[in-house]
Amino acid sequence: MHAPGLCLRDGRYRLLAEIGRGGSGVVWRALDIEARTERALKALPLAAGGAEGAALEVEARVRVQHPGALAIHGHFEEAGAAWLVLDLAVLSLQALVESGDLDSAGQPVAEPLPLPVALHVAGALCDVLASAHRAGVVHRDVKPANILLMSGGEVRLTDFGIARMWADSRTQTSSGAILGSLPWMAPEQRRDPRAVRPATDIYALAVTLAWMLLGYSPAELYVPAAVEELRGAGIPEPVVQLLVRAGSWAPDERMDATRFGEALTALADELALPDGSDADAWAAPGPRSALVARLEARQRRASGDPERSDSSDAGWRDVVVTLLDAWSSWEAIRGEATDLALPPVAPAALTRPPPQERGAISSRELLVAGGLLGAGGLLGAGAIVASAAAVWIALSSS
């Protein structure tokens, strides 16, 4: 129904590419013309209750006053969907761990995270969940695809679309339908979706931590086979025991998010190698720095150029901002001209004016910049940069 190039909110947002699709809707990468940045736009079909879903997700996010919950910058209805305007992440945790390739059995090829990095990510999520649970919000869908990573290594929890305000009668499961993702779903959530509680999120986070260390979802954490699976992968025994406790069958036997986070911090201190051979990886900025390095490597590999630098992206953003500035100036000049009552101009005055100094933007440059901006959807970034450079040289020599 929607396609790249679609403009929304009177042209403020322009869809660039689809970046995710789930049961509740589709997520697009979009250009925010007014803010001069890229955003993620989540489309929830109105025909499938998108308006109610968007309202509940916004309310849940408002209740969760924590920077680790992905920011929502606005919402609106247009083109048959309710839209949420979100921060744009670099990758999801799932995309970071899974290469996108499949093995001989058709399963995703994964690269497990180093233990200190996995503990760091899980600890950051504990902080977000502790804030959500204090606000009476149960996420109900904690999983790698809903954990986003920003360029600086910040961890963000997103998609509160099926969150339950467990002190409130309103919910996305009024019909009793089971919502969530089965591999990460706690036993009580599978039995009755209205029986979820904060401990439900703890179970899902424990499975997510095991997934980060194994590269795949283990058997239910409360069965002996899971314990042997974790041990067989070389995961330290204290981590195995913490996972088993957080993944207990009985919700009352699981710790809350605050204690889970404290336990993860204590484990990170306890498991730091005594010989100091890997001290930097365990130091306070170490896990986050390692996460950023993994993100950058994953991006380079996805681009097909292992040596590619992000500086080209920065240059492209500078070109976009420059063109937008030029276009805004042209619009302002055109608007002012239409408001002026100009006197008749003698034919002699219609001669070509002398060239302006290079410090100012001429109307000719503005027209060219506007043309380049309009061609942006058809040409690649490299073509636009090359065209802009050629035009600048031509104008400089005139």
32-62 pLDDT per residue, tens: 999 999 999 999 999 989 899 899 999 999 9
Does residue 103 share a domain with residue 32?
no
CA-to-CA distance for 146 and 233, rounded, in angstroms?
A: 25
Domain boundary residue, one of 86, 111, 137:
86
Does residue 297 share a domain with residue 189?
yes
Q: What average pLDDT does the segment 70-86 reach?
A: 96
Does residue 130 share a domain with residue 66?
no
In-domain check, residue 308: no
Kindly state the percentage of the chain with pLDDT values over 70: 69
Tokens of 92: 């999801």
Higher pLDDT, residue 87 or 331: 87
What are all long-range contacts of 266-271, with beta carbons under 8 Å and residues at least 24 apart?
267/119, 267/238, 267/239, 267/242, 268/116, 268/119, 268/120, 268/123, 270/238, 271/115, 271/236, 271/238, 271/239
Residue from 87, 103, 141, 280 carrying the catalytic annotation: 141
Q: Are 118 and 108 in contact (CB under 8 A)?
A: no
Number of structural domains found in the chain:
3
226-249 pLDDT per residue, tens: 999 999 999 999 999 999 999 999
Does residue 80 share a domain with residue 162?
no
Print burial letters for 170-179: b (CB count within 10 Å at least 16), e (below 16).
Answer: ebbbeeeeeb
Kindly state the percentage of the chain with pLDDT values over 90: 52
43 backbone dihedrals φ, ψ, rounded to 5°? -105, 120
| The predicted structure's pLDDT at residue 153 | 93
Does residue 40 share a domain with residue 164?
no
CA-to-CA distance for 120 and 189, rounded, in angstroms?
A: 27
Q: What average pLDDT does the segment 314-335 reach?
A: 50
**Parent domain of 68:** 7-86
- Taking all residues of the chain, what is their mean pLDDT, rounded to a whole number? 79
Tokens of 234: 């070389």
Higher pLDDT, residue 160 or 362: 160
In-domain check, residue 366: yes
Domain boundary residue, one of 46, 65, 86:
86
| The predicted structure's pLDDT at residue 219 | 75
Does residue 261 share a domain with residue 151?
yes
CATH of the domain at 166: 1.10.510.10
In-domain check, residue 262: yes
141 is a catalytic site residue: yes
Domain boundary residue, one of 86, 110, 141:
86
CA-to-CA distance for 149 and 155, rounded, in angstroms?
A: 5
Q: Are 83 and 7 in contact (CB under 8 A)?
A: no
In-domain check, residue 246: yes
Does residue 260 share a domain with residue 158?
yes
CATH of the domain at 38: 3.30.200.20
Does residue 155 share a domain with residue 183?
yes
In-domain check, residue 276: yes
Does residue 220 share a domain with residue 155?
yes
Does residue 384 share a domain with residue 278?
no
Does residue 160 share a domain with residue 280?
yes
Q: What average pLDDT does the segment 151-173 reach?
A: 76
In-domain check, residue 312: no
Does residue 283 share a domain with residue 214?
yes
In-domain check, residue 314: no
In-domain check, residue 24: yes
Q: Are 116 and 49 in contact (CB under 8 A)?
A: no
| The predicted structure's pLDDT at residue 389 | 53
- Quote the pTM value: 0.74
